[in-house]
Amino acid sequence: MRLAADIFLLAGAVFIFLGALGLIRMPDVYNRIQAGTKAVTLGAIGVFLGLAFLFPQWWHKLLVIMGFILLTNPVSSSAIARAFYVSNVRPWVHEEESNSEESSSRPFKEKQELSQ
C-alpha cells in the first residue's frame, strides 16, 4: 500500500516537474499552455491518487478535488489560449518558414476566419 502510494506520488511529481520544465523550455505562449496544462494536470492526478493510497480515509475529498482539477484546468487554459488568439498574440513560427510569407500566413488567416 505504501509502495503503491509512493509510486503514484513519484510519477505525479515527475509529470509536474516535466510540465514546469516545458513551461521554461518551450518557445511560445501556446506551446507553454500545452506543456503547463496537460503535464501538470496528469501530475496532479497522480499525486492525488498517491495521497488516496496513502490515506484511504480521505478518498472522497481527494476524488472531489481530482475531478474538479480534471474538469476545470483544461477549460481555463483553453479560455486563456482563445483570449490570447483573439487579442492578436502571434503564434511562434520557425525561422525558415517565417522567411517565406505565403506558407506561414495562409493557414493562419484561414484559422482567423474560422474563429470569427
Integer angstrom CA distances of residue 90 from 21, 45, 59: 22, 32, 43
Please tell me whether residue 51 binds other proteins under the rule CB under 8 A.
yes
Among 1, 49, 56, 64, binds other proteins (CB under 8 A): 64
Distance CA 112, CA 106 (A): 10
Distance CA 99, CA 60 (A): 55
Among 4, 56, 68, 97, binds other proteins (CB under 8 A): 68
| Cell matching residue 26 | 518551450
Among 4, 55, 98, 99, binds other proteins (CB under 8 A): 55
Residue 110 beta carbon to other proteins: minimum distance, rounded to whole angstroms: 12
**How is 18-47 classified by DSSP, letter by letter?**
HHHHHHHH-SSHHHHHHIIIIIHHHHHHHH
Q: What is the largest CA-CA distance in the chain?
A: 60
Enumerate binding residues for other proteins (CB under 8 A).
2, 6-7, 9-10, 12-14, 16-17, 19-21, 23-24, 29, 32-33, 36-37, 40-41, 43-44, 47-48, 50-51, 54-55, 58, 61-62, 64-65, 68-69, 72-73, 75-77, 79-80, 82-84, 86-90, 105, 109
